[in-house]
Amino acid sequence: MSQFDEVIPRTGTNSEKWDGVEELFGRKDIIPMWVADMDFRAPKPVLDAFQRQIDHGIFGYSAKSESLVDAVINWNKEQHQFEIDPSTLFFNGAVVPTISLAIRSLTNKGDAVLMVSPIYPPFFNVTKATERKVVMSPLIYENHQYRIDFNDLEERMKTENIKLFLLCNPQNPGGRCFTKEELNQLAKLCEKYQIPVVSDEIHADLVMKNHKHVPLMVAAPFYSDQIITLMAATKTFNLAAIKASYYIITNKDYQDKFAAEQKYATTNDLNVFGIVGTEAAYRGGADWLNELKDYIYSNFEYVKDMLEKEVPEVGITDLEATYLMWLDCRALPKGEKAIYADLIDAGVGVQMGSGFGYSGKGFVRLNIACPKETLEKGVKLLIKGLKK
Ligand SMILES: Cc1ncc(COP(=O)(O)O)c(C=O)c1O
């Protein structure tokens, strides 16, 4: 038995994923397989660190420590062979606010911001909200996997006066873990058109067997002064609630621009749980993470087998990274709206592909980071809804 087999009820715990189902799907008895958090308890060293803080009982203003910086640097060196100079490392409450900070720091209103599609929705929502122009380059879907259409990307760079590229690697949705060669090619294109890159690598640690996350700054050292890397321990260790993330900028001019913009945003304080949670996870969470990745991959294999047997028209995207399956439902004899309604009717809550940009249309995103017991129930309902 794995520690991840334990079913921990989350209803009534202020959980967006579980307590938000009635508002989102219109009924309470839904198995939620949507928003990207996991139904697993965080690693014991993290819980112990939180407990020590609670036992202390004072929750005044917090200050991050040298040892947090040290833990971040060591983790990235060991896990990703990514050497971070402490003078280039900055902290911020969460990754999405840092995407907004980056857009506001590096572009002006009306500027064009390029991204691939489908993509994690805040990429285009934040771009729009900050009054920049969204430019999307559709990924090519082939042999159950996405790849970047470099010709299309270059065409847009050439013609659309792009001021910033937003990269999501590993990719959400679609679960791609881009190779060093692809990243290198991407950076060369950005260099050719003088476009800085924000590289959101929040899923870096959730990479499955036979794949390796390469930070963009490592894949393309020649361009590292035009790259801003965003990372966090929160996705890896199921700590989204503590709102803690960090970013790496080597370019002094960009550091100054971010600092100036931060003065308005004033979101750069980490809360005490963000500080101790991130450090404890990085110092003591590696074994938990290895077990987690095996568990997620066996969940993936289970869902794949079941769907291949029961609904063979559905294409299963390979899972190179993340715990988010991406189901190609375009061959089903019904459209997205009907699929969504049938799935809710069956009792499972998912996210539909077009929510991730127009090229996601016809796909379903399925969060499989839950105990086997929950997964089996959810998949049964999923099959029922898809077959209807
Ligand atoms: C690519 C990506 N970036 C950022 C986030 C959210 O990060 P945060 O909660 O730190 O804002 C997610 C959450 O799913 C994500 O998939």
| Cβ contacts of 253 within 8 Å, gap of 6 or more | none
> What spacing in Å lies between the alpha carbon of 96 and ligand 1's midpoint?
6
Can you give the CATH number for the domain in which 104 is found?
Answer: 3.40.640.10
Q: What is the pLDDT of residues 204-237, one digit of tens each?
A: 999 998 999 999 999 999 999 999 999 999 999 9
Answer whether residue 3 is part of any domain.
no
- Most ligand 1 atoms within 8 A of CB, residue of 34, 38, 95, 326 to mutate: 95
> What pLDDT sits at residue 193?
98
Query: Do 241 and 100 share a structural domain?
Result: yes
> What spacing in Å lies between the alpha carbon of 148 and ligand 1's midpoint?
21
Query: Do 206 and 67 share a structural domain?
Result: yes
Query: Do 214 and 89 share a structural domain?
Result: yes
Domain-ending residue, one of 238, 262, 283: 283
Give the helix ranges, DSSP H, for the chain: 16-19, 21-25, 44-56, 66-80, 95-106, 122-129, 150-159, 180-192, 216-219, 252-265, 272-284, 286-310, 336-346, 372-387
Query: Do 220 and 278 share a structural domain?
Result: yes
**Predicted confidence (pLDDT) at residue 161 exceeds the cutoff of 70:** yes
Domain-ending residue, one of 283, 311, 334: 283
- Most ligand 1 atoms within 8 A of CB, residue of 99, 169, 177, 202 to mutate: 202
Three-state DSSP class for 150? helix
> What pLDDT sits at residue 268?
67
pLDDT over 70, % of the chain: 99
Query: Do 210 and 171 share a structural domain?
Result: yes
Query: Do 113 and 52 share a structural domain?
Result: yes
| Cβ contacts of 380 within 8 Å, gap of 6 or more | none
> What pLDDT sits at residue 56?
97
> What pLDDT sits at residue 265?
73
Three-state DSSP class for 333? coil
Count of the separate structural domains present in the chain: 2
Query: Do 132 and 249 share a structural domain?
Result: yes
> What spacing in Å lies between the alpha carbon of 70 and ligand 1's midpoint?
23
Domain-ending residue, one of 283, 304, 337: 283
Mean model confidence pLDDT for the chain: 97
Q: What is the pLDDT of residues 334-388, one digit of tens each?
A: 999 999 999 999 999 999 999 999 999 999 999 999 999 999 999 999 999 999 9
Mean pLDDT for the stretch of residues 282-308: 98
Query: Do 328 and 203 share a structural domain?
Result: no
Strand partners, 133: 112
- Closest to 268 measured CA to CA, from 279, 260, 278, 277: 260
Following DSSP, what letter does each residue of 224-276 receive, concatenated? GGGEEEEE-STTTTT-GGG--EEEEE--HHHHHHHHHHHHHH---PPPHHHHH
Strand partners, 79: none
How big is the chain by its Cα radius of gyration, in Å? 21
**Predicted confidence (pLDDT) at residue 266 exceeds the cutoff of 80:** no
Query: Do 218 and 90 share a structural domain?
Result: yes
**Predicted confidence (pLDDT) at residue 109 exceeds the cutoff of 70:** yes
Q: What is the pLDDT of residues 69-88, one digit of tens each?
A: 999 999 999 999 999 999 99
Q: What is the pLDDT of residues 5-43, one digit of tens each?
A: 999 999 999 999 999 999 999 999 999 999 999 999 999
Q: Could you tell me the residue range of the domain that residue 317 belongs to?
A: 16-42+286-387
Answer whether residue 9 is part of any domain.
no
> What pLDDT sits at residue 122?
98
> What pLDDT sits at residue 242?
97
> What pLDDT sits at residue 263?
86
Give yes or no for a contact between 199 and 184, defined as CB atoms under 8 angstroms apart.
Answer: no
> Beta-carbon neighbour count of residue 140 at 10 Å?
15
- Most ligand 1 atoms within 8 A of CB, residue of 172, 205, 237, 356 to mutate: 172
Mean pLDDT for the stretch of residues 41-57: 98
Pairing mode of beta strands 324-328, 363-367: antiparallel
Cα 120 to Cα 169: distance, rounded to the nearest angstrom: 11
**Predicted confidence (pLDDT) at residue 267 exceeds the cutoff of 70:** no
- Angle 66-80/272-284 helices, nearest 10 degrees? 40
Query: Do 192 and 321 share a structural domain?
Result: no
- pTM confidence score: 0.97
> What pLDDT sits at residue 295?
98
Q: What are phi and psi of 135, to 5 degrees?
A: -120, 125
Query: Do 380 and 368 share a structural domain?
Result: yes
Ligand 1: lining residues by beta carbon, under 6 Å: 36, 94-96, 120, 168, 172, 200, 202, 232, 234, 240, 245
Query: Do 254 and 190 share a structural domain?
Result: yes
Cα 55 to Cα 237: distance, rounded to the nearest angstrom: 22
